């Protein structure tokens, strides 16, 4: 139900909380992700011993393997332009940049120092793509031992290939895990109260604030963004974010839905509340924005995991199946068109399931173990 429809029903019926929209409601019949032309997308992931692998989910076959120059991957990040990866290698001393179009390493950035072991823990790209915040750990080599030193955040200039500033911690205004705005020009900082701060990357000053804490209608509970943009960054002037709604009275009750955010006016322009949402850990959304997959179980002595599929036009669970996977194996990806789901981890294979019948289709074996996250990148 759209915000306008919800407000109307509240005024007419004088209910404190509006009912969840049904699947038959014409105001929610459209697919949330703004029906774009179907785009081909491939999976990318690190693989032992020293490769980035491109995998075609249409054929379930490896399309390319990019050999890293300095050994095993210790972490992979898809950069904001979605055309390059930053890969930590050389026992966490270097960061290699892999160009997707060229299928090769095009830059190597070395953070090593004499008499100090430097370990790169993660890389945070700055808006504009010319600088990184690089979080490092440091061990000083002494005559008879190693000594832990204070960790550092390096503001690293990519063109100069050197650190231009050393910090003890990330700038406080950036909070925890900031992200680059879809237009690539600003920081978006997601705060605990639900607000989004817009921060200028040069001055590190707040330039705007998107308020999600103020209720849009009587009886509205707190909104918690899940940070899944159903536009996948393709729309530079708007977000469509999955979110949770908390009942303002019975706070242990939550529903889910999405909010539309205008990034020019910096305000919420619409919200849709579906009803009870998926539980468990991890959610993967098909690239066409029609289907979401989530998993639950498989830990604490429970041998089986449940994988649920939700229709993102209505928010309703449409299918669910249970399967016993090996330890540390879990839901890893969903096909761009939502036709298949992939289970991986702790091994060198994908278990591929049909998203309609929930039957195992095949097991795809790779040359090396899959390491870390599976990225979905438009071709």
Please report, for residues 58, 199, 210, 221, 278, the alpha-carbon distance to residue 213 in angstroms, rounded to integers and kept in the order given.
42, 19, 9, 9, 23
This prediction's pTM? 0.87
Q: State the Cα–Cα distance between residues 281 and 315, nearest whole angstrom.
A: 17
Dihedral sign for Cα atoms in the order 261, 265, 266, 268: negative
Dihedral sign for Cα atoms in the order 119, 47, 307, 283: positive
- pLDDT at res. 279: 77
pLDDT band of residue 32 (cuts 50, 70, 90) is very low
Provide the residue range defining the domain that includes 361. 3-378
- Residue 253, pLDDT above cutoff 60: yes
Number of domains in the chain: 1
CATH number at residue 138: 2.130.10.10
Q: What backbone phi and psi angles, to 5 degrees, belong to 7?
A: -60, -40
Q: The sheet that has 281-285: what strands, in order across it?
A: 281-285, 291-297, 304-311, 317-324
Dihedral sign for Cα atoms in the order 23, 26, 27, 31: positive
How confident is the model over 40-65, as pLDDT tens digits?
A: 899 999 999 999 999 999 999 999 99
Task: Output the average pLDDT for the chain.
Answer: 88
194 or 143, which is more confident: 143
Helix (H) or strand (E) holding 316: none
Q: Which of 33-47, 62-76, 345-359 has the lowest mean pLDDT?
A: 33-47
Give the count of beta carbons closer than 10 Å to the beta carbon of residue 188. Answer: 19
- Residue 39, pLDDT above cutoff 90: no
Residue located via tokens 């979110």: 243
């Amino acid at each position: 139900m759209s915000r306008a429809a919800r407000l109307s029903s509240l005024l007419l019926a004088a209910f404190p909380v509006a009912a969840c929209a049904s699947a038959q409601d014409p105001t929610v019949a459209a697919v949330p992700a703004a029906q774009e032309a179907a785009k081909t997308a491939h999976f990318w992931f690190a693989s032992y011993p020293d490769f980035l692998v491109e995998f075609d989910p249409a054929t379930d076959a490896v399309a390319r393997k990019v050999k890293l120059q300095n050994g095993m991957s210790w972490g992979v990040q898809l950069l904001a332009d979605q055309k390059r990866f930053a890969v930590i290698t050389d026992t966490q001393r270097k960061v290699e940049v892999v160009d997707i179009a060229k299928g090769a390493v095009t830059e190597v950035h070395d953070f090593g120092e004499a008499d100090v072991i430097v370990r790169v823990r993660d890389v945070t790209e700055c808006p504009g793509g010319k600088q990184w915040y690089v979080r490092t750990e440091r061990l000083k080599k002494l005559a008879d031992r190693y000594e832990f030193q204070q960790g550092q955040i390096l503001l690293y200039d990519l063109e100069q290939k050197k650190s231009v500033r050393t910090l003890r911690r990330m700038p406080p205004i950036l909070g925890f895990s900031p992200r680059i705005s879809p237009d690539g020009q600003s920081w978006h900082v997601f705060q605990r109260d639900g607000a989004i701060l817009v921060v200028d990357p040069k001055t590190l000053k707040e330039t705007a604030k998107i308020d999600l804490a103020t209720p849009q209608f009587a009886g509205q509970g707190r909104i918690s963004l899940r940070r899944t943009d159903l536009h996948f960054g393709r729309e530079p002037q708007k977000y469509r974010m999955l979110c949770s709604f908390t009942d303002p009275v019975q706070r242990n009750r939550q529903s889910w839905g999405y909010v539309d955010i205008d990034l020019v006016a910096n305000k919420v322009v619409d919200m849709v509340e579906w009803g009870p949402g998926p539980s468990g850990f991890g959610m993967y959304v098909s690239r066409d924005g029609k289907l979401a997959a989530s998993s639950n179980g498989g830990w604490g002595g429970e041998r089986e995991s449940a994988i649920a599929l939700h229709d993102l036009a209505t928010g309703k669970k449409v299918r669910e199946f249970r399967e016993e996977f090996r330890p540390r194996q879990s839901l890893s990806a969903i096909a761009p068109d939502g036709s298949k789901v992939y289970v991986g981890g702790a091994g060198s294979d994908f278990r591929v399931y049909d998203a309609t019948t929930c039957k195992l289709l095949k097991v795809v074996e790779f040359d090396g173990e899959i390491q870390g996250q599976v990225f979905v990148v438009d071709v």
